[in-house]
Amino acid sequence: ELKVEQNPLFLSMQEGKNYTIYCNYSTTSDRLYWYRQDPGKSLESLFVLLSNGAVKQEGRLMASLDTKARLSTLHITAAVHDLSATYFCAVVSSGAGSYQLTFGKGTKLSVIP
């Protein structure tokens, strides 16, 4: 059974600081997603990482994937208040012609002015 662990689960940081969220998963996968969720809202897709060593950046967020270590990171650079949200990683598992996403528990980020 695929397990996905995120840490930290809660993160309070000051504006302007840098930090990294970690996502570990237990079995081989060739696709990993990062999502953002605002309170009461649905999931907004941020990044999809497809291969070992993949790195993607959008604004102050950068995601990377190490499939050998089964680890993905979401790095936040010079945080701003608008980045306050819950961030989820999700790993694809497939079998018998179907697939599913297994999510971590999420990291609730609060950026303090």
Report how far residue 72's alpha carbon sits from residue 113's, in angstroms, rounded to the nearest whole number. Answer: 28
Nearer to other proteins, 4 or 83 (CB): 4
Report strand pairing: 10-14 vs 107-112: parallel
Longest dimension (CA), the chain: 49
CB of 83 to other proteins, least distance (A): 19
Nearer to other proteins, 77 or 103 (CB): 103
Nearer to other proteins, 54 or 80 (CB): 54
CB of 51 to other proteins, least distance (A): 15
Binding interface with other proteins (CB under 8 A): 4, 31, 33, 40-43, 45, 48, 88, 90, 92, 94-106
Of 36, 14, 20, give the one whose Cα is nearest residue 85: 36
Identify whether the C-beta of residue 13 lies closer than 8 Å to the C-beta of residue 109: yes
